[in-house]
Amino acid sequence: MFNKRDQHESEATAGASRSSETASAPRPAPRSSSGTAMIGPSINVDGKLRGEEDLVIEGKVKGTVELKNNSVTIGSQGDVAADIYAHSIFVDGTMDGNLVASEQVVIRKSARVKGSIAAPRVSLEDGAQFNGSIDMDAKGETLSKAFSGQKSASGSSAGAKTESPHSDTGAGKTGSEAGKQVSH
């Protein structure tokens, strides 16, 4: 009867200390549900990045980025001076270096790219700035060296039949015949 106030105070104090323990306990960095990591606009990275999740770069990166099974996106604020090896690469910002993708490279209209691109599929949007070379040979030396031992997501392999998006130009041809690009 006389100690009821003391009991309530001690319970409140215990509850407060539990919540402060929870609040001060180290928590893992927040991750989006899609498994995408982000390098924010105030972050500078110099060195080699490797991993097994998609990456969005809005900061500055120098060196090498290897996410061979994942996608790399250079956001509009991103400034990259590196060689990038990924499944798919999307560029909105500034890129100086080699882009090597097992599936595709997309250079969007806001992008400024200087360097070489090696990928089976390459897209340059109207308005994009690009200075460099493009190698779209899926069986070429650059892609073979970079992705040796890995099968592309499209499932194409040497000797397999590959259909082009235009049924009258690639159907029935072997992978090496269908992979040839024609410029107009």
Encode 95-109: b = buried (16+ Cβ within 10 Å), e = exposed.
bebbbbbbbbbbbbe
Long-range contacts of 158-161 (CB under 8 A, 24+ apart): none
The model's pLDDT over 59-116, given as tens digits with 9 standing for 90+, comes to: 999 999 999 999 999 999 999 999 999 999 999 999 999 999 999 999 999 999 999 9
Statement: residue 48 has pLDDT above 70: yes
Statement: residue 168 has pLDDT above 60: no
pLDDT bucket at 9, cuts 50 / 70 / 90:
low
Distances from the Cα of 155 to the Cαs of 29, 159, 163, in angstroms? 35, 12, 12
Element spanning 59, H or E: none
Determine contact, residues 162/146, Cβ cutoff 8 Å.
no
Compute the mean pLDDT over every residue in the chain, rounded to the nearest whole number.
Answer: 76
The model's pLDDT over 25-44, given as tens digits with 9 standing for 90+, comes to: 444 444 444 589 999 999 99
- How many Cβ atoms sit within 10 Å of the Cβ of residue 21? 9
Where exactly are the structural domains of the chain? 36-142
Q: Span 147-155, mean pLDDT?
A: 58
d(C-alpha 136, C-alpha 55), whole Å: 23
pTM of the model: 0.64
